Homo-oligomer: A and B are copies of this chain.
Amino acid sequence: MAHEILVVGSTALDTVETAHGRVTDALGGSAFFFAAAAARLAPVALVGVVGEDFPLERLDPLRSLGVDLDGLEVAPGRTFRWGGRYHEDMMGRDTLFTELGVFESFAPRIPAAARRRPVLFLANIQPRLQLDVLDQMEGSPLVVTDTMNLWIDTALADLRRVIARSHILIVNDEEARQLTGTRSLLGAARALQAMGPATVVVKKGEHGALLAGPDGLFAAPALPLERVVDPTGAGDTFAGGFVGSLAREMRVDGPALRRAVVRGSALASFSVEAFSLDRLLAVTPAELDARLRDFVALTDFTLD
């Protein structure tokens, strides 16, 4: 048994270049990455939009993981496409193009069957749309929210309303600093908690994640990797593992939140080993277990 998750976010075709190669029109977008990770741990329903040009058969592996795609609308027009090129050191990237297509007029409609799901992940979309989703939900779901710098710059008032209605906020270090004007990540996490969410997770990429939650602070490293093929979607994958873990345990206490960070980190470490969802969709339960044991070995110490 596990709680069922609803994710609302972007569903895209990505064209990505890194030092290790290039892919064209590969599965991308926050909701696909999230779902591929979360579905390892709990049932996931997805709400998003693609265009008539979208190759729906490419979603078969997600369906095989049990992802409910009834809420994936196929709208007249072209699918959201994003193109980016990573710098040699994988630290920065340049956006080559953004074609919003049908995503420009995305108005999420939550299927009746999904409105009572007890766990909601608001992936990075317009805060106005995140509020609309919140208003469509019935019951009192656990609300976990992500966002991006664009909305901090252009839709801060709505974003603050979303944050105030969230139980858990997941942001990266830059977003945390930008949202709070605070350089110290600890200070920023505290300021974000004061905006509403009892729990704040700050993602730090290759430096891991910092959780400020009900039982204090938890710092998890990222698994050190010799070879990162494509960092795209690592943050959404982390969120998928994190939320999936909470849903699986049906608990949000301190120990469950810490485990959720570790499961999110483990799944994110797979995601970056290949382009798009390629590695994530191929992870076996035994591989995930082995990587979780790697995390224990990586962080284990005793004082005596």
Contact = CB atoms under 8 A, between A and B. Distances in A.
A226 B302 contact: no
Interface string A196-216: 000000001011101000001
B299 A299 contact: yes
Report copies per complex.
2
A262 to B, nearest CB: 6
A141 to B, nearest CB: 25
A224 B204 contact: no
B301 A219 contact: no
Contacts of A218: 298-301
Contacts of A220: 221, 299, 301
Given A187-B226, A226-B186, A262 B299 contact: no
Interface in A246-304: 255, 258-259, 261-262, 292, 296-303
A285 to B, nearest CB: 14
Contacts of A297: 216-217
Interface residues of A, number: 40
Given A262-B303, A301-B255, A208 B221 contact: yes
Contact of A302 (B88, B185, B187, B259): B259
**For A88, A190, A206, A261, which residue has the most chain B Cβ atoms within 10 angstroms?**
A206
Contacts of A303: 259, 262, 292, 296
A262 B207 CA distance: 17
A184 interface: yes
A183 B90 contact: yes
A216 B255 CA distance: 26
Nearest to A183: B89
A262 B301 contact: yes
A216 B189 CA distance: 32
Given A89-B183, A183-B90, A207-B204, A301 B258 contact: yes
A112 interface: no
A225 interface: yes
A228 to B, nearest CB: 7
A58 interface: no
Interface of A: 88-90, 183-187, 189-190, 204, 206-208, 210, 216-221, 224-228, 255, 258-259, 261-262, 292, 296-303
6 contacts: A184-B227, A186-B226, A219-B299, A220-B221, A220-B301, A262-B301
A-B pairs, top 3 by smallest CB distance, nearest first, are A219-B221, A186-B224, A258-B301
